[in-house]
Structure 1
């Protein structure tokens, strides 16, 4: 209880309350607009948070992060267009319910499931805070290096079907992070005698370019989304009763969200997939999933909204972001010389508890706001794409220029924006680049510290936590390679089985003929060699 009161004392300020209110309501509105998303909003607001106190800036960003998924469910359910990427699974069962005339009921279920999932996650983490405070100091430089490497490996592995591309982009991010003066001897790296590269490539410039400016290009290039009004049926408070009828699905899905959120590089998509699969396999009516199932909607929404609080654990305890949004928040810590990691849990536990309580309050604010403002938010969801694109582009360049009053930063951001636009057009991931920049810097710093005490390679993993992390990394890589080999073998077998029977038989005959000729040739050569020998040798 003392920790909770200490956290409340940190939050007991008018500017923190204002940031919480603006962030939570603003996050809902941003999530309700398809094509924008929390990453774009946080990228635009990052420069503004640098002039605020750490708790004020983080509360504002947490409000957007934690509430955007609530708003993203509105267009996903009513117009079959997810407001944020993680609400894509919500369309499977939410929109069919709208087509049945149960749109208001579906929205109420999504709100309630999201709220319950978030509260369960926050309560779990508040309860675990004393345990984390004891475990975090066990992580030294070697363990944090391996944890960062594990996060990078998980980011690559999580992009199924694009692992090689994700690995290449992560390496590109690590390379971008090395440009400029290295932190120990201040020697220039990859500057090519260009003075404007000596200070390196700012993370905020890259983030705004890859996320905000590229998305502005996408919105301006595309057509406006035509939506039609659908009559809403059902009551706004029916969802509370529906969620109460399915405590098993809600609790299990929230548990998946907590577990997946704590693991760096995994995030909402994996938790949603596991929760949805579990709900379908244990349901009495699995055939309803994808056709307006209440259990499916509860599973997807409670799983994705229980992740944000859990994702703060690796960020606060180890200084390792789990995905791109927490990587952006890490910049706020660094600007204010607040170093997340084991020291934060030891020396500033009240700050950690304040962040968890801020997440709790923002979910309560969002739930109250949404119960009375859904119809108004549908108007926000119909804003023209080109208007949104121009607005995002303008705000992005204003924020970039305000960092260092540098036109060079604006040009660099425009270049990254163009690169991000190309990646989006090719359907390639952007997250590995950001994670490569952030985790690459952490890995370099911790490796330098660790190598001062390491004499042999085995010394690097001679402690239990380091050994466990190392083995976990090896297992993930081995299973990933094994999966790729099996997938390639199955694809080859499928290609062989789809050939016409005559072609397959002809190929078989030709291979058999080659084999017979080869074997016959071997026997003839052997016989000739024997006959060519002198008679004494043949005997």
Structure 2
């Protein structure tokens, strides 16, 4: 009880509540605009949050992170265009409802499911916080290094079909982190006698370039689309009654969201896929999925909104981000000398609980805002893409320049913006670069600290937690390479079948002809014996 009161005291400040309100409403607006997304907004706002208190800056970013998925469901349902990438599955059943004239029902159900998923995950993690506080002290330098390595490995493996390029981009991110002065002896690395590289490549500059500027270039090179909106009539409270009729789907989807959110590199997509698949397989009407199923919409929206709170667990407990958005939030901690990890859970547990309570209040504020403002909010979908591109471009360069008042940073950001644009056009991921930069720094520092007491390779994993993490790394590698081997085997079999299809067909015809001839001979002999029973002809 004392912990909760202390957390409420941190949260009950006018600037924190104002930041929470601004972040939640702003996140909904950003999510409702196709082509922007929370990553762009957080990247632009990062420089501004550095001058705020840690709790205020993080509350703004958490508000955008947690509420953007609410807003992303609006264009997904109304115009079949997801506002954020994680709302893609919402279009499967949301838009068919709109075509049937049930847009209000679909939006209400999406809001209700998102609210349940958000509240469910926060409550689970508040109850789980004391357990984390006991586990966190077991993580030393070696354990955190192995956990960071596992997180980076999971991020790479999560990019199915692109694991090799994701690994290369993650290594590129690790290399970027090594540029400048190394953290122990402060010797220069990869500066090539250029003074502007002595301070290293700033994470925020890279983030703004890869996410914000690249998205601006992408929007500017496209064409504006004319959007026809569906008028909404009636109240927005119908979804709560419908959600109550499917408690099993909502509960299981929320659980998938919490579990997948805590695993670095997995996130919303896997949680949605598992939830949607489970709901379809256990539904009494599986044929409705993809054609306007309320269960499908509940599964997708509950799962994706249960992830943000859970994704804060590895960030706060170990200082290891699982995706680009939490990696950006980590920089806010570092600027204010608040180091996430075991010490945070031991010494500032009230701060951790305050963040979770902020997520709890956030979901309530967003739901109230959406229930009464949706009819006005849908107008933001009509904003032209090129106008958005120009706005993002200007705000991004302003944010980069405000970091160190450096034109060089603007040029570096522009280079990464072009690089990010190329990655988008090639459908390649940019997230591994950011996580490589963040986790690479953690891994280097923890490896150097951990190696001080290591004499043999086995000493590195001689503690229980370290051994478990090491076995998990081996397990992930085994599963991944086994999957690659099975895929390669199937590909070879498919190629062989295609190559020998004509030969196989010819052999089949020959066997069929031989069989027919034998059958014909047998019938002739049976007929002969029928009319000549005394015959001994064995032809």
Same fold, TM-score > 0.5, yes or no: yes
Match of 2:87 in 1: 87
Q: How does 1:238-317 map to 2 (within 5 A)?
A: 238-317=238-317
TM-score by length of 2: 0.93
**1:255–1:194: structure 2 CA closer, same or farther, 3 Å change rule?**
same
Take 1:89 and 1:41, find their aligned partners in 2: how far apart are those partners? 22
Take 2:377 and 2:172, find their aligned partners in 1: how far apart are those partners? 39
Q: What's the CA shift for 1:500?
A: 6.2
* Greater Cα offset, 233-242 or 356-365: 233-242
Match of 1:159 in 2: 159
Match of 1:486 in 2: 486
Match of 1:389 in 2: 389
Take 2:232 and 2:357, find their aligned partners in 1: how far apart are those partners? 35
Match of 1:63 in 2: 63
Which deviations, in whole Å up to 9, do the C-alpha atoms of 1:459-497 show, x marking residues without a partner?
001111111111111111111111111111211211222
Match of 1:398 in 2: 398
Q: What's the CA shift for 1:230?
A: 2.5
Which deviations, in whole Å up to 9, do the C-alpha atoms of 1:180-238 show, x marking residues without a partner?
11000011111111111111000000000000000000000011122112244664111
Match of 2:516 in 1: none
Match of 2:360 in 1: 360
Take 1:472 and 1:251, find their aligned partners in 2: how far apart are those partners? 28
Take 1:176 and 1:60, find their aligned partners in 2: how far apart are those partners? 28
Q: How does 1:22-421 map to 2 (within 5 A)?
A: 22-232=22-232, 235-421=235-421
Which deviations, in whole Å up to 9, do the C-alpha atoms of 1:248-302 show, x marking residues without a partner?
0000000000001111111111111111111111111111111101000000000
Q: What's the CA shift for 1:387?
A: 0.4
Q: Does the residue aligned with 2:453 lie in a helix, a strand or coil?
A: coil
Q: What's the CA shift for 1:437?
A: 0.4
Take 2:358 and 2:4, find their aligned partners in 1: how far apart are those partners? 11
Q: What's the CA shift for 1:342?
A: 0.4
Q: How does 1:416-455 map to 2 (within 5 A)?
A: 416-455=416-455
Take 1:404 and 1:424, find their aligned partners in 2: how far apart are those partners? 28
**1:179–1:501: structure 2 CA closer, same or farther, 3 Å change rule?**
same
Q: What's the CA shift for 1:501?
A: 3.3
Corresponding residue pairs, total: 508
Q: Which runs of 5+ in 1 are unaligned?
A: 508-539
Q: What's the CA shift for 1:4?
A: 1.2
Q: What's the CA shift for 1:504?
A: 6.2
Whether contact under 8 Å (2:232, 2:375) holds in the other structure is no
- Large movers: runs of 4+ above 3 Å: 231-235, 499-507
Whether contact under 8 Å (1:98, 1:232) holds in the other structure is no
Whether contact under 8 Å (2:117, 2:306) holds in the other structure is yes
* Greater Cα offset, 473-482 or 75-84: 473-482
Take 2:23 and 2:144, find their aligned partners in 1: how far apart are those partners? 31
| 2:29 aligned with 1:4 | no
Q: Does the residue aligned with 1:226 lie in a helix, a strand or coil?
A: coil
Take 2:241 and 2:396, find their aligned partners in 1: how far apart are those partners? 43
Q: Does the residue aligned with 1:66 lie in a helix, a strand or coil?
A: helix
Take 1:22 and 1:8, find their aligned partners in 2: how far apart are those partners? 19
Take 1:372 and 1:118, find their aligned partners in 2: how far apart are those partners? 19
Q: Which runs of 5+ in 2 are unaligned?
A: 508-539
Q: CA RMSD in A?
A: 1.4
Q: What's the CA shift for 1:322?
A: 1.3
TM-score by length of 1: 0.93
Take 1:357 and 1:105, find their aligned partners in 2: how far apart are those partners? 29
Which deviations, in whole Å up to 9, do the C-alpha atoms of 1:90-132 show, x marking residues without a partner?
0000000000110010000000000001101000111111111
**1:505–1:284: structure 2 CA closer, same or farther, 3 Å change rule?**
closer
Which deviations, in whole Å up to 9, do the C-alpha atoms of 1:37-80 show, x marking residues without a partner?
00000000000000000000000000000000000000000000
